[in-house]
Structure 1
């Protein structure tokens, strides 16, 4: 795929210049200098896996003077302005592209108005049939505004939209659940890049067809929509783990719609929690906190103890990202109490499948404490997570926890211990297709590069190994 930054010059040369008053007015409303505007665009681009290091104040000046950037850069600019102003601004609103010149990217769809089965089919087909869709789908803060207060109306509209189709009963529901179990186990062992499109194919063929069928009972209808919600969540999680953040967000929204149709508030909370996880990883602490709190509020009285613990520990991540020490500590303690009251046999399937236990809670607590700067406590929690994990069944998260531990140890000045754990992480990454794992390796190399010529020999060897891993990972992605 040709990089957006390399295309910029050609767009500048071809486009007739006419001062863009719309863009100028919005940049002024943002109270931005041209440099600040360029920095905001770079941040959105980087978040979506497309760094634009050359984008600077001169580019903004050219755009305002009438030069039209590439379509992806136009969308990054629109998203950056939307975030600054707190309202949705699209590239067409900026006068940067014509109404029909953008590829259909589903950004403009109102996911809360249509039939969820139809919307799921639309999304899945775009993912399967357009190779670039997953890379170009933009992560949007505006899409995090989930209309929880009007979900009953949304569900009623969805039920009214269906009617015909084949009869669907227990056998079809069991088939979807069996496939979900197979895909989920493979995901934990081999990463989000493994069989991602196979999950989407199954969603858009068998599952979408079932959702549009005639159900033997209301109980069966809810059960099928619940199973579909879990599978859509898995598609989102795999996209998230593959660093396809805009695509992941769209699958998460579909999972929410389907959980709502199933009248399963706890399952909806599970997906809201995943959206919070994604937001905090991308640096949107306040939004992550709001989503995590929504997962608790929406599922109150419906969620099991382990599910409540999972939702609560994500509030700790949100509080930590916003610098609230007291509430972070209180949320970690509350999550531990909830989990202590859990009975594994009584937990929903999605808790059992995700493997949320003391091990996972410790990993999330360690990351929250790291974000607060309490590195000693963070190391203790991360060590606890590693010591109690089933490493073969949950290889991906094991590699990420090892990398997080090494990062904390490096920050504490213990480079040799950090290097040992980074090497262990690289050992465990063999055969794992995960964008998050690759990002952890890139972060490792950034840490090591900060030592400059003072980097010890053992760490130089680790850096060379990490570089080789990233080369191999890129070749695997291309293949």
Structure 2
């Protein structure tokens, strides 16, 4: 049988011409990127480039080095699809080779973001991985140093670009708290993969500017992960969290890295992985020790309480909750980082987490008291989603105590407040209403049947978060 002839890679040839490179200059640029990544490619020369142009696929990580080299030369982010190395919109080869921790975070962020934007099934089918929760904190300094050596390109990135990303982050974050993770999720991803990823590959006038850009990019990437988490796209959320963690590391922003580890702990405990959640929350405390503010430290500590509760350890749970209370009491809002202020971590948030920890331990009276405290102290307007979820948790605890009428009242209030909120967690709360009420069978009172009908209609109307 005759072999299928290779097709000339016109995209790559066009990019090489735009770079104004000879084939030898292109090979030299690829070798330089490989060296920065401790991957010697001494045999890479102009003949290899000629083969790539003729249609031969670069082996191993070479396609990434090639994309990075061209990105630096042109001052904009390119990936293997743009170079004709991965055909069409199929990113599967790149995604199979995606290292959770080892590659340049800006490039991996672009790969994940492009897959999210271009392939609906990627977000829906991405698997949540426990292996990715083993965070290599002991080797992060070397990873960050390697990233700093890799900066380059012709685009000048400074305070105006940093401020622009910060302003966009503020807009997206406020909308997320009010309307849920399904609202404008892909708008955040689009901004990440276009403007932000390009800035990360640019030239910085100072290391301070570079750290600040990587830090705000980490916050934006965290937000993409949080929105995916709230949309119940857990595998996708985990991928964004990992990239946010790596960007925070390159920014040498340990408190922000701790904040992301805390989010990973939150996701783990919600998915039933209590020991992993405890490990992540403990890592957040250890990694940020001496540099995190009181409120940030309290946030990390209360997640250790969630981990202890999931591990059925009431003494350590109680100790962690008391410690978090004391830490938050010493906080000053004006001295806290933007991500604490934006997320609204206050007495109300701590009480909500405490209530969930006590619920998991089986202390329903204690859980109810904390959840009521959260509802009473929260400014519900800007934080409508979490207010909704706290009401749902309160109703669930009351139902477990046999107080169905009170539970139904709060579940109805839950559904009143979630109108317009696109959140997978909110939709899960509605499904939980139907599950809990179904347990009563024919004994279900009329007032509860009305709620069940309302929940059924809500779910039939498709009130669930959209991943698009």
Q: Which residue of 2 aligns with 1:370?
A: 359
Q: Which residue of 2 aligns with 1:315?
A: 304
Superposition pairs for residues 393-432 of structure 1, below 5 Å?
393-432=382-421
Measured after TM superposition, the shift of residue 242 of structure 1 is 0.1
Please give the secondary structure, in 1, of the residue aligned with 2:98. coil
Q: Which residue of 2 aligns with 1:153?
A: 142
Q: Assess if the C-alpha contact under 8 Å between 2:375 and 2:390 holds in 1.
A: yes
Q: Distance between the aligned counterparts of 2:203 and 2:467, measured in 1?
A: 42
Q: Which residue of 2 aligns with 1:38?
A: none
Q: Distance between the aligned counterparts of 1:105 and 1:419, measured in 2?
A: 49
Q: Which residue of 1 aligns with 2:164?
A: 175
Q: Distance between the aligned counterparts of 2:201 and 2:450, measured in 1?
A: 56
| Unaligned ranges ≥5, structure 2 | 1-89
Structure 1 residue 473 and structure 2 residue 437: aligned? Answer: no
Measured after TM superposition, the shift of residue 102 of structure 1 is 11
Q: Distance between the aligned counterparts of 2:186 and 2:408, measured in 1?
A: 35
Q: Which residue of 2 aligns with 1:266?
A: 255
Structure 1 residue 361 and structure 2 residue 365: aligned? Answer: no
Q: Which residue of 2 aligns with 1:205?
A: 194
Q: Distance between the aligned counterparts of 1:436 and 1:460, measured in 2?
A: 23
The change in CA–CA distance for 1:370 and 1:224 in structure 2 (over 3 A counts) is same
Measured after TM superposition, the shift of residue 475 of structure 1 is 7.7
Deviation per residue, 1:409-429 (Å, 9 max, x gap) = 000000000000000000001
Measured after TM superposition, the shift of residue 106 of structure 1 is 2.5
The change in CA–CA distance for 1:346 and 1:471 in structure 2 (over 3 A counts) is same
Q: Distance between the aligned counterparts of 1:102 and 1:235, measured in 2?
A: 19
Q: Assess if the C-alpha contact under 8 Å between 2:231 and 2:467 holds in 1.
A: no
Q: Which residue of 1 aligns with 2:328?
A: 339
Q: Distance between the aligned counterparts of 1:215 and 1:360, measured in 2?
A: 38
Q: Which residue of 2 aligns with 1:30?
A: none
Q: Assess if the C-alpha contact under 8 Å between 2:180 and 2:230 holds in 1.
A: yes
Please give the secondary structure, in 2, of the residue aligned with 1:466. helix
Q: Distance between the aligned counterparts of 1:202 and 1:165, measured in 2?
A: 21
Match of 1:165 among 120, 129, 154: 154
Please give the secondary structure, in 2, of the residue aligned with 1:162. coil
Measured after TM superposition, the shift of residue 131 of structure 1 is 1.1
Q: Which residue of 1 aligns with 2:224?
A: 235
Structure 1 residue 223 and structure 2 residue 212: aligned? Answer: yes
Q: Which residue of 1 aligns with 2:176?
A: 187
Please give the secondary structure, in 2, of the residue aligned with 1:138. coil
Q: Which has the larger radius of gyration?
A: 2
Q: Distance between the aligned counterparts of 2:464 and 2:182, measured in 1?
A: 13
Q: Assess if the C-alpha contact under 8 Å between 1:105 and 1:133 holds in 2.
A: no
Q: Assess if the C-alpha contact under 8 Å between 1:423 and 1:462 holds in 2.
A: yes
Q: Which residue of 2 aligns with 1:442?
A: 431
Deviation per residue, 1:242-268 (Å, 9 max, x gap) = 000000000000000000010000000
Q: Which residue of 2 aligns with 1:117?
A: 106
Measured after TM superposition, the shift of residue 478 of structure 1 is 9.2
Q: What is the number of residues matched between the two proteins?
A: 379
Q: Distance between the aligned counterparts of 1:362 and 1:161, measured in 2?
A: 44
Measured after TM superposition, the shift of residue 111 of structure 1 is 2.8
Q: Assess if the C-alpha contact under 8 Å between 1:386 and 1:398 holds in 2.
A: yes
Structure 1 residue 391 and structure 2 residue 397: aligned? Answer: no
Q: Assess if the C-alpha contact under 8 Å between 1:249 and 1:275 holds in 2.
A: yes
Deviation per residue, 1:78-111 (Å, 9 max, x gap) = xxxxxxxxxxxxxxxxxxxxxxx99458254213
Match of 2:318 among 306, 329, 333: 329
Q: Distance between the aligned counterparts of 1:441 and 1:108, measured in 2?
A: 38
Q: Distance between the aligned counterparts of 1:232 and 1:376, measured in 2?
A: 38
RMSD: 1.5
Deviation per residue, 1:205-258 (Å, 9 max, x gap) = 000010000111111110000000000000000000000000000000000000
Measured after TM superposition, the shift of residue 472 of structure 1 is 1.6
Measured after TM superposition, the shift of residue 165 of structure 1 is 3.1
The change in CA–CA distance for 1:164 and 1:185 in structure 2 (over 3 A counts) is same
TM-score normalised by the chain length of structure 1: 0.78
The change in CA–CA distance for 1:476 and 1:328 in structure 2 (over 3 A counts) is closer
Q: Which residue of 1 aligns with 2:291?
A: 302
Q: Assess if the C-alpha contact under 8 Å between 1:269 and 1:298 holds in 2.
A: yes
Q: Assess if the C-alpha contact under 8 Å between 2:423 and 2:464 holds in 1.
A: no
Q: Assess if the C-alpha contact under 8 Å between 2:100 and 2:132 holds in 1.
A: no
